[in-house]
Chains A and B, each alone.
Chain A
Amino acid sequence: MKNKNSFSKGLSKIQFMELEACTQCGECLKFCPVQEVTGNTLISPPEKIRLFREFIRATDGLKTRLFGPGEIDRRLLEDFTKAVYECTTCGACGQNCPVGIFTQRLWPTLRKEMVRRGLGPIGIQSDMPGLIGKTGNPYGKPAKERYTPWFPVDVRIADRADTAYYAGCSGSYEAHPMVRGDVLVLDAIGRPFTMLPPEEEVCCGFPLFITGQHDMLEDLTKRLVDAYKARGVKTLICSCPCCVNIMVRDWPAFYGSELPFKVRHISQVVSDAIQEKRLVFSEGLQEKIIYHDPCYLSRGVGIIEEPRRVLKSIPGVALLEFDRHGVNSRCCGSGGAARKVFHENAIAMGRLTIDEAVAKGADKLVLSCPACYAKVNEAMVGHERQVRIVDIMELLSGLVKRGQL
């Protein structure tokens, strides 16, 4: 007989093994950005795993099988829920875990379990399904404002094309220079690309996935995939690491089959275009710049070299690196849908990124994620150390030749 109250039934077999494999050695704590700014070990990765194992024991253990389920302290469940949502899901803990627990996927799974029990999500995160259902985006902004504030008037969008660009909600509503830069650079490459009309370009599902609210994911995925399929799209380009992540990893599962197109991060397309001389610089940049790897781009889908190739190809640029970069990059604080709920943590993490960029002597801090872009800019307000923040495509769009082909 299936135990409906079971804490383990939402876990995959390998995730159950992962919980078993944790020795609570605490190595992950050195890399946890939330630990860095809060110092609260009660919300640490090993403590979350320990507690979840307790919950499994309480609902699936021998005692429960023999004598029936006992009560789990409600306060403990609430504390655990807060801990699992305070995490930015950056995955640095798993990257440095001696046994390699895939925490970037484990934490969202545990969040889903807390949603099933009516304990998650937290705060305004619970408004997201309603807002997405109503407006198509988690910010509740009108669809007609999705492109108009930032879309360059001189860029033409094809009705049908092999290539499509997905702007994403965070870029469209919270990081205008980034998506504007994307479109300008794609236009400069000179190959036709299509975009969905604003009312059809709905949320990719990532904010719902990451907060454990999975009910709408199949519908959103099918609407988007079918819309691109109808336009004959063979390659879908996106600049938002979170969108790219869910598209590559989870869309096939929610769609029910392989996607009819491949997904590429914009830096891949741009890197190829520079190499093939389809994108040419009109000017250089005599500056020291430092590039921050977004967690869901580097640890998420392994895009590490392409953004660097793009930046290194700018004439005159000196590219600096953070102490922790590539798959070991430090979260800027905006991940995991935690930035709007645990605002102070996110600001403190963002300022750590700013401080290191300033300490390294960078003229510009280059980002490549709309959530990072919005939050690190917010962290800059009122901070004593200042550095110019720029998105990678925003930077590039001002340096490349347009309309040369």
Chain B
Amino acid sequence: MIRYMDVLLLLLAYMMYIAFLVRVFTHVRIWLNAAVQSVTYTRAPLGSFRVCALTAMEVLFFRKLFANDKPLWTGSWLFHLSLFFVLLRHLRYFLQSVPVCITAVQPFGIFAGYILLIALVFILLVRLYSGEKRYISYSNYFILSALLLLSFSGLLMRNFFRPDLLQAKAFILGILTFRPDAAPSGILFNFHFLIALLLLPYVPSHIFAAPLVIAEAARREEGLRMMMHEK
């Protein structure tokens, strides 16, 4: 049976989803309106081996961050990797029939949940106590805090206050298919779900932009060798 709280969560879910789409749409529109300018630096071809290798090293292993800041790299890399597995694990709540690969990844997802919390705490400590980190924006603190709460509440549910997982899945699928169902009872699930919703419009745009910018930087870095050296 659907309760008031469920209705509230459902409304919030749709609102946040719309907010996310509006944000994406607005950014794409601004991007389309940006000037078409000829690139004024020599670029190596996108398909060249070195450009692909540099881009892959950067996207997968944060090469520059590793070279410049090993503690932050450790936290950051573990955070991204563990978040990836945690999200993979959560896919089972979003898919009617769960593929074998998602089932297979479940143990890794659970382990990654612990690593995620440790990585987030580590990043926060590095941010707060590293003398060289003289800058951190409020939005960084907000996202970091929200992720910490999300991660912590997720682990609490996993270990101590297990919600009805079948009901959780029915609730999520109900939202996706526009056939609302009741949320599992328990304040922890509601809290976890609310924080996730809160983060949805804040899905950092760098997730989409960074790989393209990294590839462009790799082309430029490679092109730098050629810029003044063509015969």
State whether the Cβ of A14 lies closer than 8 Å to any Cβ in chain B.
yes
Contact of B34 among A15, A244, A262, A301 (CB under 8 A): A15
Minimum CB–CB distance for A341 against chain B, Å? 24
Q: Do B140 and A24 touch across chains, with their CB atoms under 8 A apart?
A: yes
The answer on a CB contact under 8 Å between A96 and B68 is yes
B136, A26: Cβ atoms under 8 Å?
yes
With both beta carbons as reference points, the residue of chain B lying nearest to A254 in the complex is identified as B40
CB-contacts of B199-220 with A (<8 A): 204-206, 208-210, 212-214, 216-218, 220
B210/A60 in contact, CB under 8 A: no
Tell me whether A302 and B135 are in contact (CB under 8 A). Answer: no
Cβ of B133 under 8 Å from chain A: yes
Q: Determine the residue in chain B with the shortest Cβ distance to A264.
A: B228
User: Within the complex, which residue of B27, B29, B69, B230 is in contact with A20, where a contact is CB–CB below 8 Å?
Assistant: B27
Closest 3 pairs between A and B when the two form their complex, measured CB to CB: A100-B217, A302-B224, A20-B209
Which B residues are in CB contact (< 8 Å) with A289?
none
State which of B33, B137, B205, B210 has its C-beta within 8 Å of the C-beta of A50.
B137
Shortest distance in angstroms between A88's beta carbon and chain B's nearest beta carbon?
18
Bound-state Cα–Cα, A391 to B172, Å: 69
A22 to B33, CA, bound (A): 20
7 contacts between A and B (CB under 8 A): A9-B34, A26-B134, A27-B64, A29-B133, A47-B135, A60-B30, A101-B213
Q: Which residues of A contact B204 (CB under 8 A)?
A: 23
B41 within 8 A of A: yes
B220 touches A102 (CB 8 A): yes
B residues in contact with A303, CB < 8 Å: 228
Taking a contact as CB atoms closer than 8 A, the residue among B30, B58, B68 that contacts A16 in the complex is B30
CB contact list, B17-48 vs A, under 8 A: 22, 26-27, 29-31, 33-41
**Which residues of A in the span 353-399 have a Cβ within 8 Å of any Cβ on B?**
none
B96 contacts chain A at the CB level, 8 A cutoff: no
Q: Determine the chain B residues whose CB is within 8 A of the CB of A22 once the complex forms.
A: 206
Does residue A56 face the partner (Cβ distance < 8 Å to B)?
A: yes
Q: What class of interface size applies to chain B in its complex with A?
A: 35 or more
Inter-chain contacts of A244 with B (CB < 8 A): 228
Fill in one digit per residue for A157-200: 1 if any B CB lies within 8 Å of its CB, else 0. 00000000000000000000000000000000000000000000
Given contacts A44-B135, A56-B30, A250-B40, 12 further A-B contacts (CB under 8 A): A6-B33, A13-B36, A18-B213, A21-B210, A23-B206, A29-B132, A47-B135, A47-B137, A62-B22, A100-B220, A102-B220, A249-B40
Number of A-B contacts (CB under 8 A): 152
Q: B227 is contacted by which of A2, A253, A302 (Cβ under 8 Å)?
A: A302
Contacts of A248 in B (CB 8 A): 227-228
Please list the residues of chain A having a beta carbon within 8 angstroms of any beta carbon in chain B: 2-3, 6, 8-18, 20-27, 29-30, 35, 39, 41, 44, 46-47, 50, 56, 60-62, 96-102, 105, 244, 248-250, 252-253, 262-265, 268, 301-303, 327
In angstroms, Cα B134 to Cα A39, docked, is: 8
Query: In the complex the two chains form, is A100's CB within 8 Å of B64's CB?
Result: yes
User: B33 contacts which chain A residues (CB < 8 A)?
Assistant: 2-3, 6, 8-9, 60
Q: How far is the CA of A352 from the CA of B139 in the complex (A)?
A: 34
Select B206's contact among A20, A29, A50, beta carbons within 8 Å.
A20
Asked whether, in the complex, the Cβ of A99 is within 8 Å of the Cβ of B210, the reply is yes
Give the contacting residue for B214; candidates A41, A100, A301; CB below 8 A.
Answer: A100
The answer to whether B228 and A24 touch across the interface, beta carbons within 8 angstroms, is: no
Chain B 120-154 per-residue mask, 1 if CB under 8 angstroms from chain A, else 0? 00000000000011111101100000000000000
Residue B225 CB within 8 A of the other chain: yes
Which A residues touch B135, using CB under 8 A?
24, 26, 29, 41, 44, 46-47
B229: A residues at CB distance < 8 A: 302
With beta carbons under 8 angstroms apart, the residue of B26, B69, B139 that contacts A27 is B69
CB distance from A8 to the nearest CB of B (A): 5
B34, B35, B204 — most chain A CB neighbours (10 Å): B34
Report the nearest A residue to B217, measured CB to CB.
A100
Contacts of A249 in B (CB 8 A): 40-41
A62 to B227, alpha carbons, bound, how many Å? 41
Question: A199 CA to B216 CA in the complex, in Å?
Answer: 41
Q: Are B64 and A98 in contact (CB under 8 A)?
A: yes
Question: Considering the chains assembled together, what is the distance between the CA atoms of A50 and B134 in angstroms?
Answer: 16
Is B62's beta carbon under 8 Å from chain A? yes
Give chain A residues whose Cβ lies under 8 Å from the Cβ of B38: 253
Chain A residues whose CB sits within 8 angstroms of the CB of B170 once the complex forms: none
Q: Does the CB pair A16–B40 fall under 8 Å?
A: no
Quote the shortest CB–CB distance from A221 to chain B (angstroms).
Answer: 12
Contact A30 B68 (CB under 8 A): yes
